[in-house]
Structure 1
């Protein structure tokens, strides 16, 4: 879960209204080709180089000219996420490749990675489908099965956690907490693509939207985490929230089968999982009360590696050097993580508050070393 969770489902507004409030404007036609859309973000504008582009593979060429870290989303009209790129620092550029069918979409810039964002309506034109290597169709099918399996396996673990909370058993709930999150963390980009589920189950207190009251609006795992570790007690509100968590996770489990999954969304999702590690787990912000960050960290890496492994046969044909580098970087990061658990099959990781500053930097450096080549995976699978 990113530092400031975006509540996309509540962010619907007309482009005209957003333009009047935030100065969202359109640039003249770009020069990078029909399928490249330039996106220039500032602290109060979101400019796009074109509002129409051919269906198929589209590349967002993003530049952040503002003073705040930003995110850029390509959204369906109902706010489901096609693709995103977060943690785009001031003065930096990013490129992200997505696969889109003909239809209406929105591009959203999120200065400070909070709030409703600044939006542009855009359109993919033409009715042609994307020519795809059959191996990629197989990768998508296998990944869809993996995501469903993770959701199916998560629910009983979450139910065990919820039952402990409802029974008022603090120690049992603490023990069940981290295991209940593993499947979610492995496949989080798919859950986030729906827009409305993630803010219910995985938001941190500082990720609430302006105007939301933590006493009434904060729900999900981290609200219960705070009660269990900081407060050390379970009250009626926590028991109610445990039941609500299961309801929301059952909704997630039912909906993952209908998620929009493409080879590029798999590749971009792998990068998003590394971003989750960099901005939440390495810093210790994600599990600030339980200090179970390394469990989430490992699950994020496993999810990213699963997407990569399924896409690797095609990526290896198109960009052998990239695959060689990614193999090396994944191996190095996994070796480093293994130092913090008793064996390679255990999820009994060292409590993150016991990991020193130098070791945290070592982990951060390994994540960053992997994230850069991983950001090029989507482009490699569509060459």
Structure 2
């Protein structure tokens, strides 16, 4: 399986949000003054649920006993428009963003781990506003927002992996099976980050054939997957070898060890993305890294998910497919304005990419959704796969031009 580098990862596509640089106090005042937010262990109380478009300031006060974060999320509840983190108990910090008209969500995350609390709808009314600020400053803000997205996904992944590992170790296989594709989605949205860290991605996400080829101990999601969806005696691996060759179901003690190892590896990923090394890597790659990442995540779909080889035993490849596309689209959303600002050709390119994502999402939606579940990969016909491949290829072509356009 080809594994892209961090350079290839940090690119991926949308939301009408203007990235801004320094914001004058007068601009905030013109938008009606700051909104107040109170965060504690159970709530995220915002003083209003709507505001006019333009510069918005959220003054966040931590009334709880844990360090907290505040997010303004896009209408899909996934993409981050703005965030402020590391707010100590009793302290206040301000998030300032330039927001276009549309629907959003506000959310607090006490402890900076998990899904957060107090998610609430937030509406921005009025007319679209112009993007302002120095180009370099806006590009750094785009990079910072991608870093926030990665940290958010990993902070949700960590407790979900712990619950999944606990169910697996305890033999609650139905519970673990139901959780498997949903937990993996957090990882799949930001997968190239781990892929850049030496043996971390192999420990978390290698298929059996990859581990054997590289003479590595086979651990992680797919080792657990094979236990949960135990193959028939005459089944074959994805490489055509007998599934039971050199393999046997794990004992309770081995299950506990595999589960604990997965949790430890995800903890290592969590520590990395919350550290200085990750921030430095993002800064070094810049917005070119974001656009390259969009392509890399789409390649993940084309080379693994669409073949059914990723989740060979569970057949949950379409969940991974959807998460890769979501991660790709997230990164693209942060650089699309830089491309569309490159004249008529840039505008046309962004429009083509937007159409490509919409068509690919529509094709995928014919087979389910993250909320309702996706069809098992084995139920897709050759025509279904061909249609998805065609949509991937149609999107890949304009995406391949994105980095060059941004850097022109």
TM above 0.5, yes or no, is: yes
Q: Note the aligned Cα RMSD (angstroms).
A: 2.1
* 1:340 equivalent among 367, 373, 378: 367
CA contact (8 A) 1:135 1:314 kept: no
Question: In 2 relative to 1, CA 201–347 (structure 1 residues): closer, same or farther, beyond 3 Å?
Answer: farther
Offset of residue 196 of structure 1: 2.5
Q: Any unmatched runs of 5+ in structure 2?
A: 11-133, 233-248
Offset of residue 234 of structure 1: 4.9
* 1:248 equivalent among 265, 272, 288: 265
Question: In 2 relative to 1, CA 209–166 (structure 1 residues): closer, same or farther, beyond 3 Å?
Answer: closer
Aligned to 1:230: 230
Q: Secondary structure at the match of 1:285?
A: coil
Offset of residue 253 of structure 1: 0.8
Offset of residue 321 of structure 1: 1.3
Q: Secondary structure at the match of 1:230?
A: coil
- Are residues 1:325 and 2:349 paired? no
Offset of residue 379 of structure 1: 1.4
Q: Secondary structure at the match of 1:373?
A: helix
More off after superposition, 220-229 vs 131-140 = 131-140
**Structure 1 ranges of 4+ moved more than 4 A:** 231-234
* 1:212 equivalent among 212, 215, 221: 215
Aligned to 1:29: none
Pairs aligned (count): 258
Measure, in 2, the Cα distance between the counterparts of 1:83 and 1:323.
20
Measure, in 2, the Cα distance between the counterparts of 1:289 and 1:133.
47
- Are residues 1:82 and 2:7 paired? yes
TM-score (normalised: structure 1): 0.64
CA contact (8 A) 2:7 2:292 kept: no
> What are the superposed Cα offsets for residues 134-182 of structure 1, whole Å, 9 maximum, x if unpaired?
2211111111100000000111111111011110111111111111111
CA contact (8 A) 1:295 1:347 kept: no
Measure, in 2, the Cα distance between the counterparts of 1:378 and 1:132.
16
Aligned to 2:379: 354
- Are residues 1:239 and 2:264 paired? no
TM-score (normalised: structure 2): 0.60
Question: In 2 relative to 1, CA 291–211 (structure 1 residues): closer, same or farther, beyond 3 Å?
Answer: closer
* 1:302 equivalent among 326, 332, 351: 326
1:65-104 to 2 correspondences below 5 Å? 81-83=6-8
Of structures 1 and 2, the one scoring higher in RCO (CA 8 A, sep 6+) is 2
Larger Rg: 2
